[in-house]
Amino acid sequence: MDATPEVGPELIRHVARLARLRLTEAEVAALAPQLARILGHVEQVRTLALEPAEAAGPAAEGPVAAWDDLRADVPGPTLAPGDLLRNAPAHDGAFLVVPRFFDEDLG
């Protein structure tokens, strides 16, 4: 098990970058003690005594364990591109417009 992390500005900046979220230095300073307290509380899950049989299961399983009544994979009506583009902040009539990114490091 990984060690409990120190929740300081460095970790906040790292996570914010992963989340594609720009933060001001004032926000980083305010968030560090808040997240330290919240993560300190949720830490409890790491030490829970769980019955292995009950805790086991596929990682992403939610309240519906499985369902096998998926609908048939057949084409149906879809929204018109114009209806979707109407909400886009920038488009050229056919495509969404974004800044040039071919040379960008998005990691």
Partner 1 sequence: MSGALDLPVARLAARVRDPRDPLTAQDVLAESLTRIRARDGGLSAFLCVLSDLAHAQARRVDEAVARGADPGPLAGVPLAVKDNLAVAGAPLTCASRILAGYRPPQDATAVARAVAAGAVVVGKTNLDEFAMGSSTENSAFGPTRNPHDPTRVPGGSSGGSAAAVAAGLVPLALGSDTGGSIRQPAALCGIVGLLPTYGRVSRSGLVAFGSSLDQVGPMARCAEDARALLAAIAGPDPLDATTRALAPVSAADGFSPRGLKVARVAEFDRAAGGPEAPAGAAVERVLGALWGAGAEPRTHSLPLCAQAIPVYYLVAPAEASSNLARFDGVRYGHRAAAAESLFDLYAASREEGFGAEVKRRILIGTFALSAGYADAYYQRAMAARRALRASFARAFETADLLVSATTPGPAFPLGEKADDPLAMYLCDVLTVAANLAGVPALSLPAGTTPAGRDGAPLPLGVQLWAAPGREGLLLDVAAWLERGGHSAFTPPRAPEGA
Give contact residues for partner 1 (rule: CB under 8 A). 1-2, 5, 11-12, 15-24, 27, 31, 34-35, 37-39, 41-46, 48, 50-51, 54-57, 59-64, 67, 69-71, 79, 83-84, 86-90, 96, 98-99, 101, 104, 106
The distance of closest approach from Cβ of residue 2 to partner 1 in the complex, given in angstroms and rounded to an integer, is 5
Residue 36: other Cβ atoms inside 10 A: 16
Question: Please, are residues 56 and 33 in contact by the beta-carbon 8 Å criterion?
Answer: no
Give the Cα separation of 72 and 79 in Å (integer). Answer: 19
What's the closest the beta carbon of residue 41 comes to partner 1, in angstroms?
A: 6
When the beta carbons of 64 and 94 are compared against partner 1, the nearer one is: 64
Smallest gap from Cβ 50 to partner 1, in A, equals 5
What are the φ and ψ backbone dihedral angles of 46, each rounded to 5 degrees? Answer: -75, -20
Least Cβ distance, residue 9 to partner 1 (angstroms): 12
3-state secondary structure of 91: strand
What lies within 8 Å, CB to CB, of 51 at 6+ separation is none
